[in-house]
């Protein structure tokens, strides 16, 4: 096994370029190449009967395809949709699809069967040539480049060359500027929600009916939107909802660990932003006995009894709390906006 790497080895046919072999071990001490394995004689090669049978099979497969295609056209009309019956949609889809499938499989299996049984299956060898051009070709290529350079004066005329580089560098810039109007500067839009109007009642999502403090039982969960959101025009309705959605829960005041959380709530009723501080999914799952809120997208978990601090998952910040009060009629209202931006973090969030 004492073989030493050689610096260069001849590869390819004589006359072709010799490449560096790097750290490859080049050896002539290899078992001999036995050449292409002889091809195995198929039944169709030696028996005319089998050959005829294979030909019939191929024709039969192509005929199956014809039948399948015709069947699918027939199925298109034969199984109409009946609006009141979901099964009619299913049947139309299945039979139309199966017909087309047959039409395709017939051709596919037939063609492959034809190739495998009736066409020659002896392997053939063809020479490869190195991808690299021959020395003459390469010399001519270099010559052409040089000629082009000479005739245009590309290397010689520095001023032309440099101004061209400048022009080429700048001409795409207008295209980039043109895209500025794709969207406005977000300015403060991410910091404010509809609750900032002040004194809005908390209403049920999606019907918009207001919620009385007395309606909220211990352990109950309400999905909340601000009063009036329902009547906004598209798209501002969804835009506002994407920031203002709130989850309202009543806890036993004795379970609440944070004084601020108690102060901003009402008799154990607390309202928190429903928009996850990770990447903005709605935090919609509430586990009553642990007081945990779970985001179904990436499993960030927040402790509702402790300022909605993150107890698990990729989120980094607590869900912002919405301060609530009760108005004269006993309905829950929010005196103002969240104290910080809701939803996913962004660079200038705190600035």
Partner 1 sequence: MSNVSATKKKGGFLAGTANYLDERVGVAGILKEFGRKIFPDHWSFMLGEVALYSFLVLLLSGTFLTFFFQPSMTEVVYDGVYGPLKGAHMSVAYASTLNISFEVRGGLLMRQVHHWSALLFVAAAGLHMLRVFFTGAFRKPREINWVVGFALFVLGMAGGFTGYSLPDDLLSGNGLRIIDGMIKGLPWIGAYTSSLLFGGEFPGNQIVPRLYSLHIMIVPALIIVFLAVHLFMVVIHKHTHYSGGGKKDTNVVGYPLMPVYVAKAGGFFFLVFGVIMLTASLVTINPVWNYGSYDPSPVSAGTQPDWYIGFLDGALRLAPTGIETMVGNDTLSWNILLPMIVGVGFLVVVALYPFIEGWITGDKREHHVLDRPRNAPTRTAIGAAGVTFYATLWAGAGTDLIATSFKMSLNNVLTFMQIFLIVGPFIAYFITKRLCLSLQRKDREIVLHGNESGRLVRLPHGEYIEVHEPADKYQVWKLTDFKEYQPILARPNEKGVITLRSRIRASLSKMFFEDRVSPVSATELEAAQHHGELH
Of 7, 127, 136, 207, which one interacts with partner 1 (CB under 8 A)? 127
Nearby residues of 68 by Cβ (< 8 Å), 6 or more positions away: 98, 99, 100, 101, 102, 103, 104, 105, 106
CB of 296 to partner 1, least distance (A): 4
End-to-end CA distance of the chain: 70
Q: Which is nearer to partner 1, 29 or 151 (CB)?
A: 29
Interactions with partner 1, residue window 213-272 (CB under 8 A): 223, 225, 234-235, 238-239, 241-243, 245
- For 350, what's the count of Cα atoms within 13 Å in the CB-facing half-sphere? 1
Interactions with partner 1, residue window 163-222 (CB under 8 A): 179-180, 182-186, 189-190, 205-206
Of 337, 323, 341, 345, give the one whose Cα is nearest residue 277: 345
Query: Buried (b) or exposed (e) across 158-170, using 16+ Cβ within 10 A?
Result: eeeeeeeeeeeee
DSSP structure string for 268-283: TEEEEE-B-TTT--B-
CB of 131 to partner 1, least distance (A): 5
Whether residue 115 contacts residue 57, with contact meaning beta carbons closer than 8 Å, is answered with: no
Binding mask 96-125 for partner 1 (x = CB under 8 A): xxx-xx--xx-xxxxxx-xxx--xxx-xxx
Q: Which is nearer to partner 1, 174 or 235 (CB)?
A: 235
Interactions with partner 1, residue window 300-339 (CB under 8 A): 310, 312-317
Interactions with partner 1, residue window 128-167 (CB under 8 A): 128, 130-131
74 binds partner 1 (CB under 8 A): no
22 binds partner 1 (CB under 8 A): yes
Distance CA 25, CA 5 (A): 5
CB of 59 to partner 1, least distance (A): 14
32 binds partner 1 (CB under 8 A): yes
Structure token digits, residue 41: 């004689």
Interactions with partner 1, residue window 34-63 (CB under 8 A): 34-37
Whether residue 273 contacts residue 246, with contact meaning beta carbons closer than 8 Å, is answered with: yes
Q: Which is nearer to partner 1, 5 or 219 (CB)?
A: 5
Q: Which is nearer to partner 1, 151 or 231 (CB)?
A: 231
């Amino acid at each position: 096994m004492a073989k030493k790497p050689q610096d260069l080895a001849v590869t390819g046919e004589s006359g072709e370029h010799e490449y560096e072999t790097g750290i490859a071990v080049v050896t002539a001490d290899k078992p001999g190449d036995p050449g292409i394995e002889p091809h195995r004689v198929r039944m169709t090669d030696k028996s005319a009967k089998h050959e005829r049978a294979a030909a019939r099979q191929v024709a039969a497969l192509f005929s199956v395809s014809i039948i399948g295609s015709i069947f699918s056209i027939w199925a298109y009309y034969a199984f109409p949709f009946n609006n009141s019956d979901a099964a009619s949609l299913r049947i139309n889809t299945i039979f139309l699809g199966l017909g087309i499938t047959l039409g395709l499989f017939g051709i596919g299996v037939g063609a492959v069967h034809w190739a495998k049984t009736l066409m020659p299956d002896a392997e053939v060898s063809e020479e490869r040539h190195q991808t690299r051009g021959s020395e003459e070709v390469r010399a001519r290529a270099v010559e052409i480049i040089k000629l082009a350079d000479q005739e245009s004066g590309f290397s010689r005329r520095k001023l032309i060359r440099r101004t061209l580089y400048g022009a080429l560098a700048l001409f795409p810039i207008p295209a980039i500027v043109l895209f500025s109007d794709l969207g406005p500067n977000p300015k403060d839009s991410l910091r404010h929600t509809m609750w900032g109007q002040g004194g809005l009642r908390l209403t049920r999502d999606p019907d918009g009916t207001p919620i009385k403090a007395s309606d909220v039982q211990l352990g109950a969960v309400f999905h909340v939107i601000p009063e009036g959101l329902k009547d906004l025009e598209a798209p501002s309705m969804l835009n506002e909802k994407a920031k203002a959605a709130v989850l309202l829960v009543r806890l036993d005041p004795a379970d609440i660990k944070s004084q601020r959380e108690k102060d901003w709530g009402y008799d154990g009723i607390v309202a928190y932003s429903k928009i996850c501080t990770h990447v903005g999914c709605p935090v919609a799952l509430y586990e009553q006995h642990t007081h945990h809120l779970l985001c179904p997208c990436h499993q960030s978990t927040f402790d509702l009894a402790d300022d909605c601090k993150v107890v698990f998952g990729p989120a980094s910040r607590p869900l912002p709390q919405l301060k609530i009060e009760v108005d004269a009629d006993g309905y829950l209202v929010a005196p103002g906006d969240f104290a910080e931006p809701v939803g996913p973090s962004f660079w200038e969030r705190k600035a």
